[in-house]
Structure 1
Amino acid sequence: MTTLTTQAASARRAQQLRAARDKHELPRAERWRRRGPLLPALLFTIVVTQIPFLVTIWYSLHSRNLLRPDSDLFVGFANYGDIVRDSTFRGAALNSVVITLGCVLVAMVLGIVLALLLDRPFPGRGVARTLLITPFLIMPVASSVLWSMAMLNPTYGLFNWTLGLVGIDPVDWTSTYPIVAILMALVWQWTPFMMLLVLAGLQAQPKDVLEAASVDGAGPWRTFTWITMPHLRRYVELGVLLGIIYVVNTFDQIYLMTAGGPGTASANLPFYIYQRAFLGFDIGQAAAMGVVVVIATIFVAMAALRLIFRSFDVKEHS
């Protein structure tokens, strides 16, 4: 009898849950039961991200210098005002935009080209894929040393050796064209990532659609522009979003290849914040710059995510 009663109660509870699920209104106890396993991860995320960010905001409202620990004064938003008037900060912000957009756009174009080539069967395709993915697996420090010493060195670099074959004088890339040198290293590292995303999109494309386009007489270019690219839109948008989030935080290549120079010509925002904090010892201004960069990155990420989610909604409704 007890067993039958328990089974009946379980059946009623399951029926109630199904009815609530149909109405998109689960009982509060059930909602908390489902959220419970996620609470430790949420608490850990808050501890390691939000608390340090709040401390950074507190530092940004103070005038604090590491060389004068007793000079900690509350200055309100004065540090933010100094940032607005700092021409070097504006130059670093412009460098961040140029480096980020230049790297992401060039890497995406090259990634699409390489993905289209690798999507076709040919002998040795597996080996080619492995070789093309390798740059993304190399640590940024190692790739920076490789590019500054082996590729762009003015005396024995591979680039200058190649230019010498056609009678062009050697170029000191990291001093004369520092932004271009950094972009070379970043594009080389991030192109495989973009290639993998686009290649995954190409392999997920329905083959019957391509066959129907071929039967209808569509050529390769028309098929690519009207069928393949719309299908790849979500993958391209995701790659651009992830690339912007990661490349905007570039530090290793700038520190090891140009040290932000000549002067601050190639310094981006993370490197300039490092200079203010650990070379200028101005913790207050460095914290204010960090807060500004985080807020700007959040707005950019939110805008990009809304664009991606909108494309997903359009795909589902269609």
Structure 2
Amino acid sequence: MAGSATLPVGAVATAPTAPTAWRCRWPLLPALLYMVVVTQAPFVFTVLYSFQSWNLVRPGSEHWVGLANYANVFTDNAFRSALLTEIEMTVLAVAFAMALGVPLAMLLDRRFPGRGVARTLLISPFLIMPTVSGLLWKTTMLDPVYGIVSYVLSWFGVPATDFVSRFPMASVVTVLVWQWTPFMMLIVLAGLQSQSGDVLEAARVDGAGPWTTFRWITLPHLRRYLELGVLLGAIYLVNTFDVIYMMTQGGPGTRTTNLPYYVYQRAFLGFDVGQASALGVVTVAGTIVVAAVALRLLFTVFSGTERSAG
């Protein structure tokens, strides 16, 4: 027929029909429905509650208030304080975890006796639940009477110190760094092991020392892995709640009250469902925006690297 396009025989034979494509997707439907029910349905109810004034200790107080809860969020000094605490805690934890993860990854990238045991020991903190990590550090490591840190410092004449009460932010960040350093280490180690051995050998032949090789060859190669570790670590650490709850309960004062813990306080201590829902929606929206921008930048870096390699 005139004007009709002729398709290659192979393309017609291998192209899946619509019913076949849907049959391939049917096994994934239960998992998709489960994810929608577990994650999206509660969020929809949270959005609906955010437009209402509802305090659980006052029966019958539920009524529609529109955007009033959101207006209160952006004029709430406690919210701004929790936001600053969130940023400070995340930046410190990610920076120190990455700073420790890089040298540990370089250590594990070399062959030495007992490397398998060392790798297992260094990864183990990441496998411990955050609640257990917070309780372990509070009672076993940082306790002023029975803690291992105070016991070791007493050898040097340092008096017993209640680190959790005197230095709450440093205590929480220490636990987060201890827990997330293995994650950063594994990402950097993957980058190191993907590096071309021929390039390193050529650098050694040309007389480049270890520091020069790391500065001009290894570090540029690790750039995208470092950015990936920082991005993923920040996304996870923004949701920190377990460690704060087990160690400081947001105190002293509001020193360690980040956004997830502040939402918990408004919902389960103040019983203000409407205000807590608005806080939760704003927090989720802000996290999505930051993650989307960071992912776009990361994909740009990866795409640019692949084009330059090609």
Give the structure-2-normalised TM-score: 0.91
1:198 and 2:188 correspond: yes
**1:261 Cα offset (Å):** 0.9
- Rounded Cα–Cα distance in structure 2 between residues aligned with 1:304 and 1:287: 26
CA–CA distance in structure 2, aligned partners of residues 221 and 235 of structure 1: 19
C-alpha displacement of 1:16: 3.2
- Structure 2 CA distance, aligned partners of 1:198 and 1:312? 15
- The residue number in structure 1 matching 2:285 is 295
Gaps of 5+ in 2: 1-6
- Residues 121-163 of structure 1 show CA distances to partners (whole Å, capped at 9, x for unaligned) of 1111111111111111112122111110111111222222222
How far 1:308 sits from its partner (Å)?
Answer: 1.4
Instruction: Work out whether 1:113 is the aligned partner of 2:103.
Output: yes
Instruction: Tell me the equivalent position of 1:6.
Output: none
CA separation of 1:143 and 1:29: change in aligned 2, threshold 3 A: same
| Per-residue CA distance 1:190-222 (angstroms, 9 max, x = gap) | 111111111111111111111111112222112
* 2:165 is the alignment partner of 1:175: yes
Indicate yes or no: 2:271 matched with 1:281: yes
Counterpart residue number, 2:248:
258
Deviation at 1:41, TM superposition (A): 4.0
The code of the aligned residue for 1:205 comes to Q
Within 5 Å, give how 1:24-173 maps onto structure 2.
38-173=28-163
How far apart are 1:177 and its partner, in Å?
0.9
State how far apart, in whole Å, the 2-side matches of 1:314 and 1:301 are: 20
Question: How many Å separate the matches in 1 of 2:180 and 2:103?
Answer: 14
Query: What letter corresponds to residue 119 of structure 2 in structure 1?
Result: R
**What amino acid does structure 1 have at the position aligned with 2:213?**
T
Please report how far the alpha carbon of residue 31 of structure 1 lies from its aligned counterpart in structure 2 after TM superposition. 6.4
In structure 2, the residue corresponding to 1:68 is in which secondary structure?
coil
The alignment yields a C-alpha RMSD, in angstroms, of: 2.1
- Larger mean Cα displacement after TM superposition, 180-189 or 230-239: 230-239
Shift of the alpha carbon at 1:49?
A: 2.1
Alpha-carbon distance change, 36 to 218 in structure 1, aligned in 2, over 3 angstroms: farther
User: Identity over the aligned pairs, expressed in percent?
Assistant: 59
Q: Does 1:16 align with 2:6?
A: no
Aligned to 1:215: 205
Shifted more, 259-268 versus 292-301: the winner is 259-268
Q: Distance in 2 between matches of 1:97 and 1:28?
A: 48
Paired with 2:131 and 2:270, the residues of 1 have a C-alpha distance of 24
3-state DSSP of counterpart to 2:239:
coil
Shift, 1:244, TM fit: 1.0
The alignment's TM-score, normalised by the length of structure 1, stands at 0.89
Moved more, 280-289 or 132-141: 132-141
Range moving further from structure 2, 33-42 or 93-102: 33-42
- In 2, Cα distance between the equivalents of 1:205 and 1:17? 42
> Match of 1:155, SS?
coil
Unaligned runs of 5+ in 1: 1-10, 21-25
Task: Tell me which moved more, 281-290 or 132-141.
Answer: 132-141
Q: Cα distance, 1:13 vs. partner?
A: 5.5
In structure 2, the residue corresponding to 1:96 is in which secondary structure? helix
SS for the counterpart of 2:61 is strand
- Residue 269 of structure 1 aligns with an amino acid whose one-letter code is L
